[in-house]
Chains A and B, each alone.
Chain A
Amino acid sequence: MNLQKIGVKFFLEKGGELPLGSFIPVFHRWIQEDRLEGMLVDVTEYTHVFQGPGVLLIANEANYGVDETDGKRGFLYTQKRTPEKSQEDHLKTAFRRALKACSLLEKEPEAAGKVKFAVHHLQVFVNDRLEAPHGSQSLGQLEEALQPFLTWLYGGEKYLLLHEKDPQRRTGFEIKFEKSPSMETLLKQLGSN
């Protein structure tokens, strides 16, 4: 299976009521200070859109964003192209980048004490309908790829996989862990600090 374009979204535990616009200055600062991996280009916002992509930080190979799809706010990292220079497992890259951004965001002055991500509650999908057309075969293959990775990352904690049922949407799962290591532990496991 060729998992080249992965999307990972960590849902919010706290901070759903913060105005979306609060994240705009944070993303601009991240560009100024080169805070994230990858080549950061611009900030774009859709605060006027209902349950949309919210506020995005556009990078060369991916979009980072505070996303509100389906009315569930979370931090979404969506690969659009294969990350440059990276030969590593794409799942590992996507998780590391998404979690790193979540951890940074929780500490930003606009969000500190107000925003907390639920690292035990996430969504993973393949942003590529050619590689992963919706159906049981793709779902099976994605599950097969996710299982060892999640076991490795979350230290064998139990989880529940809920597959995306809408055939028009991208192949993916909502994942709920019963218990989860802390964000710091996960980042350490992914080789990030």
Chain B
Amino acid sequence: MTTQNKSWKTELQDAMPADWAREIDDFETQIGLNKQGKIEPRVFAETRLRRGAYGQRYDNGHRNDGKQIRHLKYPNDGLWKGPDTHWDAPGMQRIKFPWGGMTADQLDTMADLAEEYSDGIGHITTRQDFQLHFIHVEDTPDIMRRLAAVGITTREACGNSVRNVTACPLAGVCRTEAFDVTPYSKAIFKFMLGHPDAQDFGRKFKIAFSGCAHEACGLVNMHDMGFIGKKVTEGGKEKRVFDVYVGGGLGPVPYNAKLLFENHPVEEMLPVTQAVARVYGRLGEKKIRGMARIKFLVAKLGIEEFRKLVVAERKILTPDPRWTSLIDQYIKEEEKPAHKAENLRASSLPKGFLDWKKTNVYQQPQYGYVSVYIKVPLGDLTSTQLRVLAGMARKYVKETVRTTVEQNLLFRWVSEADLPALFQELQAIGLSASGANTISDITSCPGTDTCKLGISASRGLTRELSGRLDQMMADLPEEVKNLKIKISGCPNSCGQHHISDLGFYGVSRKSGSYTVPHFQLVLGGQWKNNGGAYGLAVAAVPSKRIPETVKRLTDKFVKERQKDEAFQSFVARIGKVEIKNLLSDLMVIPSHDAEPSLFTDWGDVREYTIADIGKGECAGEIVAPSEFSLTSAESKAFEAQVELDKKNYKAAVDLAYESMIFSAEGVVRSRNREWVGSPEATVAEFRKGFFDTGEFVKHVNNTQFAAYLFKAQENRLANPNPDEAHRRVEEAQLFLEAVHSYIANAAPSPAALLSK
């Protein structure tokens, strides 16, 4: 069974490209040096992040166990793998699957790694990656070697680099695409991986491809850079071109991507990307992390100026033969089916097959072939499932498997005649659920389960909602079935809540001496048109009341919908005031004794807290002055949204500013209950007493939120355009959320304030 000195390094050294092997060896050396204290944890953190080895919740050594904040005594106490990140704390390994493409061997390897190093689960992310959780950093080099042996590099899976390149999972088998964008996404991945012009970014850089403008699959609008395939006719000849977009992004404040070049020749795709990377690397913000994405640079310069810089940069690039050779190479790689095209025979179909076929099977334009969506609950697959899927990928298709941004898997090129057998094999591993891409197929980020920034249990809520919706699926009206729900555990929007019909992101609210997990309801987003519109927060509702929130909204939609009206239009028509009224009773937090379950989150029995606040005997009855300020801030933020919906941009911006001032006042009053001052004085007091001292930032873990206030104070936006107004309203809401966290985490209890 064993020989001395056996290692994955020696076993696999010939199984991967030499440069990949060298990079992993180097990383292992750096692990050793960090352990010996020869590398600063801060430097090591960026090194490991660039290899996809992430931190995970509780790696700072503190965990709320439901009764108290415990200090986790990791074995090598005092040894760090990053600032405030314990060496032995479990971490997450992100694994890139460019354009979502997976082979059977890769599925098998994921199964083995999940068992041996993780918790037996491979998790599909919202950017077509996989993640393994609860990994020890010292295991990561072997994980990387085993991945490299099946053609996967984790290089630049994280950190300030070009992240996974995503693409429509249906590319090449889509009925409405202009052309297959797969070869181009492959070329860009290969070209930009480790490219010297992409090593000096202030933040991450995400690229996406879409084969059309009207569907959602590529989500180009929310990417740092994106390409939408088109065909144009020039001189009587049909030609492939891209509309090139830049500066989109979700995050706390979402930005719509701007059109950089229209009808751009596909051969120019790589040089233009290189030019954009150089401009971003040179001019992008480096110091303030929260302002460093390319969207801020594009917004600051304006798209015209940015375009001029890119054009100038393109002119001085040294020609690289790979600009065209990579595309030529990948265009030749054509996918082939495993079996010949045969029609489905209607006799003796398995039970449940027709329902499943209706939602999970996509008719390809290639006669006799279909693509099959495998609905993966919360994106989680067991090792057993991964292995069976690998076998099926060999048996039914020529390993043409892709992950999707909705955390599912897609088998392409399935011969229709194979569908019943494939369905039965999926049934045997519990993956034959119908309803792929429907309301019950909810997208969710990791949230409080494993993410360091999570505020509420996005996965817990997803589990609960999907379960309920699955049960009701047969009775749901068609217009409800087709809605999208997306959930993030905090405003950072990894769950893509901005671009769904019903979006939710995690926030918290204080009630007496308790903190209550909530979700902000986000409405008005659009999934189609590559994530064509971003929604805005409407109301914060306690986590446990979100199922009722969904029910009321969908019931109202069914009852009051006008002919063929889309949910987004319905929301716009009835208005947010009416929606807020519909939910107002759900937003009221009762006393702890009246409804204790509200004070825990989904799937978690611990009493919810984001700090170790004790319960004062009479604290429940005292209302702190800061709470009055926050209530006013909430109403102003809401009124701002209503004005925004009415397209009164100036009014929206002014109300957003007022909301920010009330929020800042809430912070100041948390220490000085008597505070009254002009807006200027309140901002100055906030800056002096809470920002400059680092107090506010320490408790909300981000400089960006306070920066929104200062920016609003400096520039009141006399003539805001729709984008600016949208952003300002969003920023007011986020500043308010940050203030809520600050109050929950740091502010003295009302009782303590009174006794002063």
Contacts and interface: CB of A to CB of B under 8 A. Distances in A.
Contact of B430 (A51, A81, A171): A51
Interface of B: 1-2, 6-8, 11, 57-58, 63, 65-67, 70, 72-75, 88-90, 108, 111-112, 115-117, 119-121, 133-134, 136, 139, 142, 377-378, 380-382, 384-385, 387, 429-431, 449-450, 463, 466-467, 603-606
A132 B1 contact: yes
B74 A39 contact: yes
A24 B72 CA distance: 19
Contacts of A180: none
A25 to B, nearest CB: 4
Contacts of A87: none
A60 B134 CA distance: 9
Interface of A: 1-2, 5, 21, 24-25, 28, 31-32, 39, 41-42, 44-53, 56, 58, 60, 63, 65, 67, 69-70, 80-81, 84, 126-133, 137-138, 141-142, 168, 170-171
25 contacts: A24-B603, A28-B606, A31-B65, A32-B67, A41-B63, A41-B72, A42-B90, A44-B119, A44-B449, A46-B121, A48-B378, A50-B385, A51-B384, A52-B120, A52-B382, A58-B90, A69-B120, A69-B382, A126-B1, A127-B115, A127-B116, A129-B112, A130-B8, A131-B2, A131-B6
A168 B387 contact: yes
Contacts of B121: 46, 49, 52-53
B63 A32 contact: no
B133 A48 contact: no
B470 to A, nearest CB: 10
Contacts of A47: 463, 603
Contacts of B430: 49-51
B107 to A, nearest CB: 11
Q: Top 4 nearest A-B pairs by Cβ distance?
A: A50-B430, A53-B120, A141-B1, A52-B382
Given A47-B463, A47-B603, A80-B116, 16 more contacts: A28-B606, A31-B70, A39-B75, A41-B63, A41-B89, A44-B450, A48-B380, A48-B463, A49-B121, A50-B385, A50-B429, A51-B430, A52-B121, A67-B120, A127-B116, A132-B1
A173 to B, nearest CB: 14
Interface of A is mostly: loop
Contact of A58 (B2, B116, B119): B119
Contacts of A48: 377-378, 380, 463, 466-467
Contacts of B133: 44
Nearest to B376: A49
A84 B76 CA distance: 10
A60 B74 contact: yes
Between A42, A47, A84, the greatest number of chain B beta carbons within 10 A of the residue's beta carbon is seen for A42
B3 to A, nearest CB: 10
Contacts of B66: 28, 32
Contacts of B466: 48
A45 to B, nearest CB: 6
A63 B119 contact: yes
Given A53-B120, A80-B136, A69 B467 contact: no
B119 A56 contact: yes
A189 to B, nearest CB: 26
A60 B59 CA distance: 12
Given A63-B134, A131-B2, A32 B65 contact: yes
A24 B382 contact: no
